[in-house]
Chain A
Amino acid sequence: MKRQTFFAFAAPSITVMTLLMVIPLGMAIWLGMHFMTFDNILAPQFTGLDNYASVLSDARFWQSFQFTALYVVVMVPSWIILGFLMALVLDQVTGFIRGLYLSIYLLPFIIVPVVGAIMFKQLFEASGPMNYLYAEIFDARFRYNETTVKTLIMLYGVWYVTPFSLVVYFAGLQTLPGELLEAASIDGATSMQKIRHIVIPHVSSLTLFISLFSIMDAYRVFDSVFVFSELNPTYRANTLMTYTFQTGIQLERLGRANAMAIITVISIMIVLIPNLYLSYKEQMAER
């Protein structure tokens, strides 16, 4: 394909991405240098790097960062391990049963995240079964507090994202080299040995893919935290995204929120840049 044709075909998409992604990102850096509320949004007051400095020295910002980091560290391994195990188990059945279970497992993944979180919350309402179970086990009333809200956010995270890694691993298992497994069986390898020495190496590229994408998705978690914590500061369950939202929309400090978003963008670069470099080399080699 000629260069000209390429640009003619890609033009609409490139235009949209330039106008609505590249330029807004630049705008966010610029707007972050202003004192801006809903009242003076079209004539913000220039304050230089003040917003950036004050965000970096804001204790609540670092608290949000901590919880976001904790969320990433707990969630990513859970998604990978549980997804892989369930994919192995699902691979053991065939036909109608397989389709049925796969459909059931897909439901949390495609459900509206806000709605899924509300459904979780329903289980813990005064009349909900989890509330009842909690009272039976711990002999105390279930209350929303820092620990329970954070636990709920994590439980919901497992519920909502595991189907993604499950399906990806499941698809990967369908491409396993059959001869290699047969040869291993003839040599007397146990199932455990086969999983350890054939299956896990075979899906390692998928593991890399899942971990990279889930790190970045976990890093920007918003919807479930919004529903469970209702942005109530006593739960200390703010993530970087909810704290930015709260600063910008609830407290009307839009300039500061833009600065916060930019700092978040810069911090994710640590994970992102090596990944981008790898993809770049891969694409250059492929073309």
Chain B
Amino acid sequence: MGKVKHPVGRFFIYFGLTLFAIYSLFPVYWTALQSFKTFRDANSRTPLFFFQPTWENYSELWLRSVPEQNGELIAFFLIASVVVLLCLLLFAQYIPLRNSYIYLAVIIGFVFILWIIPRLVDTERFYDYFINTIIVTVGTITVSITIGCLAGYSLARYAGIAGVVILIAALAFRSLPRLAFILPYYWIGVFTGLSDTHFLVILTLVAVNQPFTIWMLRSFFMDVPKDLEESAMVDGANRLTAFTQVIVPIVWPGIISTALFSLLLAYNEFLLVRILTQSNWTLPVAISRYTGGEDPRHLTLAAAASISATVPLIFVILFFQKQLVKGLAAGAVKG
């Protein structure tokens, strides 16, 4: 579309944009304010926008007891190591080492930090839920992208009628209400004794997200010309090698987009985890426990928990905005 040039028109454009931005951001902003308030400030009669901020809600949420000595030192050490790892990740391409080694080192570093935290400070249950969320999310992404890539690729290349039938069946399953699957999963969980395990949650999350994943990945694989793997296969590679060595590197940005959506679906899932787990909750279920109770302290704790769960997602937007938009567009244009 052509751009509006009239100054009054421009004014209304920015006015509309900002108004919608306020609508989008205000609930998050207010909750962030609440999470830094003392109990008294959070329950004041009129809404309080300026106050003396405090960390006490966060420390109550994450820590069973505040370390008596060296607390600042430990916090500084942890934050510094996270910053170092993030910098390594961002500037990996400028370091004269194979990137995969650097990524591996960063992953090991993060796992080590997560492992060492409960050994340095006395963490609350909320930290366990956070770890559960990471395990479930990473597990779901890994399994669903691996099997989804294989299926998406073969669906993009196979012209038989079976392929179309599978795609349409997947579309139907993607559209059905989740509860029709989750209630039988509960039965399966009790029957097999897998109830309340990460294994069952990951497996079922992979299954319910598989239709979406294969449609999206297929749309990315369709964009790759067939000649590429055919020439690789003429040179003697079999189809699997041609796939992993030639096709996957080309489609990698699309795979990242799809992985982001898998991340969101696993990280955000409430209903499935609520029904299939009794104590090994992930964050959404853990946070839902802070609403509706009679305990007045839950007001600020819910705020702190909400912000804690949102911060990782803000990083996702900052780093991956382009891939998110691209994934949404690809799903819409072709799905």
Contact = CB atoms under 8 A, between A and B. Distances in A.
B162 A6 contact: yes
Given A21-B207, A121-B291, A262 B180 contact: yes
A241 interface: yes
Contacts of A185: 2
Nearest to B151: A13
Contact of A127 (B48, B321, B328): B48
Contacts of A167: 324-325, 328-329
B102 interface: no
Given A9-B153, A110-B316, A119 B30 contact: yes
Contacts of B314: 107
B44 A222 contact: no
Nearest to B133: A112
Chain A: interface size category:
35 or more
Interface stretch (B16-24, B57-65, B66-74): B16-24
Contact of A245 (B44, B271, B329): B271
A106 B317 contact: yes
A8 B154 CA distance: 9
B162 A115 contact: no
Contact of B151 (A10, A27, A129, A210): A10
A49 interface: no
A122 B288 CA distance: 13
A127 B175 contact: no
A14 B173 CA distance: 13
A16 B210 contact: yes
Chain B: interface size category:
35 or more
B204 A20 contact: yes
A129 B47 contact: yes
Contacts of A257: 179, 183
Interface stretch (B109-117, B119-127, B187-195): B187-195
Contacts of A140: none
Contacts of A129: 30, 47
A256 to B, nearest CB: 10
A28 B183 CA distance: 7
Interface string B35-53: 0000000111111100000
A212 B305 CA distance: 34
A21 B166 CA distance: 13
Contact of A31 (B187, B264, B287): B187
Given A24-B181, A103-B318, A114-B288, A17 B270 contact: no
Contact of B177 (A5, A159, A265): A265
A111 B313 contact: yes
Interface in B170-188: 170-173, 175-181, 183-188
A172 B147 contact: no
Interface residue SS majority, chain A: helix
B239 A114 contact: no
Contacts of A206: 332-333
A55 interface: no
Interface in A142-190: 159, 163-164, 167-168, 170-173, 176, 181, 185
Contact of B268 (A21, A112, A123): A112
B332 A119 contact: no
A248 B17 contact: no
Given A6-B154, A20-B204, A25-B176, 12 more contacts: A8-B154, A17-B173, A93-B14, A104-B25, A105-B20, A112-B313, A114-B285, A119-B30, A132-B47, A209-B335, A258-B180, A261-B180
Interface of B: 1-4, 10, 13-14, 16-17, 20-21, 23-28, 30-31, 34, 42-48, 146-148, 150-151, 153-155, 157-164, 166-173, 175-181, 183-188, 190-191, 203-204, 206-208, 210-211, 214, 239, 243, 264, 267-268, 270-271, 275, 283-285, 287-288, 290-292, 299, 302-303, 305-306, 309-310, 313-314, 316-318, 321, 324-325, 328-329, 332-333, 335
28 contacts: A10-B151, A12-B150, A16-B206, A17-B170, A24-B185, A25-B181, A27-B188, A41-B190, A91-B1, A103-B318, A106-B325, A110-B316, A114-B270, A118-B290, A119-B30, A122-B306, A126-B43, A131-B47, A159-B27, A167-B328, A171-B332, A172-B329, A209-B335, A222-B271, A241-B271, A248-B179, A261-B177, A284-B164
Q: What 6 A-B pairs have minimum CB-CB distances, sorted nearest first?
A: A171-B329, A20-B207, A13-B151, A9-B154, A24-B184, A6-B158
